[in-house]
Amino acid sequence: MRIIPAIDIIEGQCVRLSKGDYDTKKVYNQNPLEVAKQFEAHGITHLHLVDLDGAKSKHIVNHKILEQIATKTKLKIDFGGGLKTDEDLRIAFECGANQITGGSIAVKNRATFTNWLETFGSDKIILGADAKDEKVAVSGWLEESKEELIPFIQAYQKEGVSYVICTDISKDGMLEGPSFKLYQKILDQAESGLKLIASGGISTFDELPKLAELGCEGTIIGKAIYENRISLRQLENFILNN
């Protein structure tokens, strides 16, 4: 299972939110590159970079930070937040993203998202399926759609999606543990070959082997790192031993 730390960006700073609420913003570092270099120094190879300004503005905003991290580290970056147009995608890939995550766009403009899948391939395009009460949420989680989570994932698997990041919004940033039951349900009901990346609520190191056992392909860890609930040394050891 891949370990994927998260860096969320608002106004160029590394922040975390609780349940996606912008009013709960807490700044952890004013220099995201510094944080990314710390991750890399501990054997981490992947990074989940979220442009929260972009999610709110509905277009890419913090691409300079993406470019900085991509050129000054060897981290493989998946980038998301406000990607709505082919131009947004062009900028993201040109600035060094290895993959992009599309969430709201996959709900609100299926034709565009499906076209991205066809153009760039399923290794480059991740479906962001973030949910509350098993309903997909959009627009930086500011809106709930009528889409049921599991049928939404199944439909996109038929379109060729293989990577899915699923965040249970009620858990995100709360340090109360991830949604093991939800991930189990998704993996049980999805078509085979799904690469499910668990996100939201990771609070202790012991949860990581459980997620790996369930069959998650990766896990995104945010606040647990920043609040020193899980140390970078522990993550380094996990990577070395798995």
Which spans in 78-148 are helix H? 86-94, 104-108, 110-120
Strand order in 131-132's β-sheet?
131-132, 135-138, 143-148
Q: What b-and-e string marks burial along 231-241, b requiring 16 or more CB atoms within 10 Å of the CB?
A: ebebbbebeee
Is 53 labeled as catalytic in the residue annotation? Answer: no
Q: Are 78 and 102 a contacting pair, CB within 8 Å?
A: no
Whose tokens are 């991750």? That residue is 39
Please tell me which residue in 8, 53, 78, 88 is annotated as part of the active site. Answer: 8
Q: By the 8 A CB rule, do 157 and 190 touch?
A: yes
Torsion of CA 186, 190, 195, 198, to 10 degrees: -10
Q: For residue 190, with 0-12 CB atoms within 10 Å meaning exposed, 13-18 middle and 19 or more buried, which class applies?
A: middle
130 part of the active site? yes
- Residue 228 CA to chain centroid, in angstroms? 20
Catalytic residue among 51, 78, 130, 172: 130
Positions annotated as catalytic residues are 8, 130
